Amino acid sequence: MRATERLPNLATAIVLAALVVLPFIVPATLASQIAIFATGALSVAILLGAVGLLSFGQGLYLGIGAYVCGILVRDAGMGLLSALLMATLSGAVLAGLLGSVIVRRHGVYFVMLTLAFAQMGYFAVLAFKGVTGGENGLSGLPRQFDILGLSIADPLSMYGFMAGAFFVVFLLVQRIIASPFGTVLAAIRENEPRSEALGYPVARYKTVAVALAGAIAGFAGGLHVIFLGFVPPSDVELEMSQRLLVIALIGGIGSPAGALVGSAFYMIVSEALSEIWPRWLALIALLLIGLVLFLPGGLWSAGRRISALFERKTAHD
Amino acid sequence: MSTQLLLFQVLNGVGIGMIYFLLSVGLTLIFGLMRFVNFAHGAFYLAAAYIAYPVVLWTGSFWWALLLGPALVAILALAIERLLLRHTYSLPHEAQILITFAVALFIQEMVILLFTPLGHNVPVPSALSGVLFLGPYVYPAYRLAVVGAAALVAIMLWIAIERTKMGSILRAGSESAEMVGLLGINVDRVFMATFALGAALAGLAGVLIAPLRGVEPFMSAEALGIAFVVVVVGGLGTLSGALVGGILIGLVQSIMSTLWPEGAQLMIYAAMALVILVRPTGLLGRI
Amino acid sequence: MTDPILIADAIDVRFGDFQALSGFSLSVRSGTIHALIGPNGAGKTTLVGLLSGTIRPDAGQISLHGRDITRDALAFRVKQGLVRTFQVSSLFAKLTVLENIFLAVSENAGASHDLWRPAGRRRNLIERAEGILERLHLIDTRHRRVSEIPYGEQRLLEIAIALALEPKVLLLDEPAAGIPTDEVGVLLDAVASLPPDIAILMIEHDMHVVRRFATEVYVLVHGQVLTVGPPAEVMASPEVRAVYLGSSGQSRFAGEAHGA
């Protein structure tokens, strides 16, 4: 059965190699952020790539994951791994609830609702500022650096944890795409009326996909608060949803590996340019326009095309 | 809540609702004909507001801003439609969403580049700087003027759509753009004009609302969000949908701002969620 | 005469001011092939949507195996054995023939909830899928993309997919539509080889096909049933002929009634 990626093992190898090499190319703190946002971008990619659902609202679930994880660590004294698990679950539950309502709408309507709910999340955070800290964010977290007895206090170990977390999610996403469930999602993406006429309860499948994506985003949110030590309200602002979307698109949604490529590109460009020209996002916007018009598969597909060129060249020799 | 307060809040809500209508009508018109949601809607609103700010600052005249804001934004929209959007009509709808989203991001960054990320105040035109006394309540004259302008826009649009040839083309096109093309009408031009009109309306809202709230670069996201809520509640694609949706949301906000001020914005979105559950296509929607 | 499996009773469907179906009733019996004919705009498409579940009636009831399914979702009806084909082939164009039918087999077997195991491992399902393809002589093209096979084979695949869903009632929406004349024979043989115990409702324009297969014909005009009866009787009826105006319509019937 065909998976989205023709050579999933090659993609895995490249991702693993990239993760190993990354801390040697960029500072470890930046590398951690790359891994965290790559995880978040996977939640966009799985929805858009596997099911064809465009979501402007994955930041909402990242945010809720961050707040849940932060609150549990601060107020319930929970360990990092358990809090991370709760972050993931909260993302899944919220996404499942909202998703069950909005998957019945199609096309642009669905996209609009994802954006509207993302805004709703932001205003909810402001409205309940007793719990969330409102505009000041969630602070006062004890800096914990203990995962199963290992310390992640220094930047390199922190990165190791983040990279490992991303890699686990990456493998999971690959697995899901290749499973019968993933095949049905592909069918729904290709031809929804036909899928329905085959007896697939399409709305149910979509809701599960949305919940999965919410879980991944919630997990990323938990990672983010572990990294930062606090929760900025920007975690749940529309800008976060947009960032995850942009990263996923730049990297390419045809393969889960695109999330890492996109995140590395975005964060490195952000670091490099933000000193020189603070409005570097304008360039990203132009890049996005170019991608939509000329390279919808993102950078990952560009890589694939180049390697295909090489294959053809060597064949001719 | 006393009846007097309730009455005032209802009137206030209708006023807010008319403003929200003004904010959303451009979006719904574009969707009605071209069948796509313009994610740059908030950015057009923003751009016009940020044209109004320097114009008022330098010329001291609000009326110039009222003219230039929507006009320049319409020209910007025409350029975007010709150069970019036109190439995406054959692509899936995600392409149009993403392109207009990217355009919005670009416009927002340009605004920050030119005007810094800080907000600015835009002074109310002196002719309308007074207040009106409604019983024990005070209502700013300018605000009333904006509500009046919104009502005027609603009436003019209604006349234009129901009574003019352009309007009937618009209505026919929203049923089937293909058919309109087959009738020999230049669909390209109709699309361009509609997109520019939608942008101009967003721009008009931006200029009119600027003295009420000030301008700051991140208000494009908020505007887009509100416009989305209004059209989801009222129904996407119709003038009356934007009107009904706007007024309903305005009422929710107004009443909530006395009961639970911090949660007023949240309740707008909650109202939207409730409407989708009960009537997924919106109160007056058809799709 | 066996009991009817699928019954539509006094159905009204309105789109705004337009009455698409009015007082429409129909019963489909197992082991029987019924045909539904009628001029364009008579409501045939609305009817298929109604029976399969994409359109809800404004009045009336639909029952399957004696159970009211009027409010039931499309996917649920499929699980109850009510399967449709599409008039314009609606397949997964970028997937292969085998993948298309595998999806049907897999869902029919309830095997699609699996998030974990790679899909290629379900040997028995693949064998079932290949078996159906073999019966319809599609086995040689099974690894080709649907967008690359001739339209006649795509229509065959539509029928194959319908079979994979183990239908009790099959709605065939103009099965031969759009097929070049030299490929029609293969398709019609496939229709002839459908399991004899299922109930079939065939929407058709082509009178040859109707005469060959149907034992009962419904004539639908302006959303109402004009007449019901065996093919020869229906086609000889002056009322029915009058409905199919124009010399092409008249000669169509004239040829049939004289046993051409």
Domain ranges of chain C: 4-94+167-257
Q: Is residue A103 part of a domain?
A: yes
Q: What is the pLDDT along chain B (287 residues), one digit of tens a residue?
A: 578 788 888 888 999 999 999 999 999 988 888 888 899 999 999 999 999 999 998 888 889 999 999 999 999 999 999 999 888 888 888 888 999 999 999 999 999 999 988 888 888 888 888 888 877 778 888 888 899 999 999 999 988 888 887 777 777 766 666 666 777 777 788 888 889 999 999 999 999 999 988 899 989 999 999 999 999 999 888 889 999 999 999 999 998 988 888 888 899 999 998 888 888 777 887 64
Residue C90 to residue B183: CA distance in whole angstroms: 30
The one-letter amino acid at A93: V
Query: First and final CA of chain C: distance in angstroms?
Result: 29
Residue B140 pairs with which residues in a beta bridge?
A: B131
| Pair A81, A147: CB distance under 8 Å | yes
Residue B140 to residue B13: CA distance in whole angstroms: 14
CATH homologous superfamily for C4-94+167-257? Answer: P-loop containing nucleotide triphosphate hydrolases (3.40.50.300)
| Pair C51, C84: CB distance under 8 Å | yes
Strand C67-68 relative to strand C18-29: parallel, antiparallel, unpaired?
Answer: unpaired
- Please report, for residues A75, A76, A143, A153, A219, the alpha-carbon distance to residue A146 in angstroms, rounded to integers and kept in the order given: 17, 16, 9, 8, 17
The burial class, CB within 10 Å (0-12 / 13-18 / 19+), for C46 is buried
Chain-chain contact of B101 with A120 (C-beta, under 8 angstroms)? no
Q: How many CB pairs under 8 A join A and C?
A: 91
- Please report, for residues B29, B78, B178, C208, the alpha-carbon distance to residue B82 in angstroms, rounded to integers and kept in the order given: 18, 6, 19, 52
Residue C119 to residue C179: CA distance in whole angstroms: 33
Domains of chain A: total: 1
Residue B131 pairs with which residues in a beta bridge?
A: B140
Strand C169-173 relative to strand C82-84: parallel, antiparallel, unpaired?
Answer: parallel
List the domain range (segments joined by +) for residue A223: 8-316
| Pair A125, A91: CB distance under 8 Å | no
Three-state SS sequence of B78-137 = HHHHHHCHHHHCCCCHHHHHHHHHHHHHHHHHHHHHHHCCCCECCCCCHHHCCEEEECCE
pTM: 0.84
DSSP string, B129-160: --EEEETTEEEEHHHHHHHHHHHHHHHHHHHH
Residue C222 to residue C46: CA distance in whole angstroms: 11
Q: What is the pLDDT of residue C121?
A: 59
**Which of A239, A174, A240, A200 is closest to A6 using CA atoms?**
A174
Q: A47-106: per-residue pLDDT in tens?
A: 999 999 999 999 999 999 999 999 999 888 888 889 999 999 999 999 999 999 899 888
Average pLDDT, rounded, for chain A: 88
**Chain A positions touching chain C (beta carbons under 8 Å):** 1-2, 175-176, 178-184, 186-187, 190-191, 193-202
Q: Can you say whether the dihedral through the CA atoms of C250, C255, C258, C259 is positive or negative?
A: negative
* Selected residue with higher pLDDT from C4 and B197: B197
Shortest CA gap A273–chain C (Å): 41
Shortest CA gap C244–chain A (Å): 32
Strands (E), chain A: 146-147, 150-151
What length does chain A have? Answer: 317
Q: What is the pLDDT of residue A312?
A: 61
CATH code, domain carrying A312 = 1.10.3470
Mutate one of B91, B106, B229 to test the A interface: name it (highest A CB count within 10 A).
B106
Coil/strand/helix, residue A144: coil
Max Cα–Cα distance, chain A, nearest Å: 69
Q: Is residue A2 part of a domain?
A: no
Confidence check: pLDDT of C208 > 60 = yes
Residue A205 to residue A185: CA distance in whole angstroms: 7
Q: Which helix (H) or strand (E) holds C228?
A: strand C224-229
Taking the Cβ of residue C122 and every Cβ of chain A, the question of whether any pair is shorter than 8 Å is answered with: yes
Chain-chain contact of A292 with B95 (C-beta, under 8 angstroms)? yes
Token pair, residue C150, equals 């001739």
Residue B135 φ/ψ region, left for φ over 0, alpha for ψ in the -120 to 50 degree band, beta for the rest: left
Chain-chain contact of C103 with A176 (C-beta, under 8 angstroms)? no
Is this prediction's ipTM beyond 0.95?
no
Q: Is residue A116 part of a domain?
A: yes
Q: Is residue A1 part of a domain?
A: no
Residue A87 to residue A69: CA distance in whole angstroms: 5
Taking the Cβ of residue C124 and every Cβ of chain A, the question of whether any pair is shorter than 8 Å is answered with: no
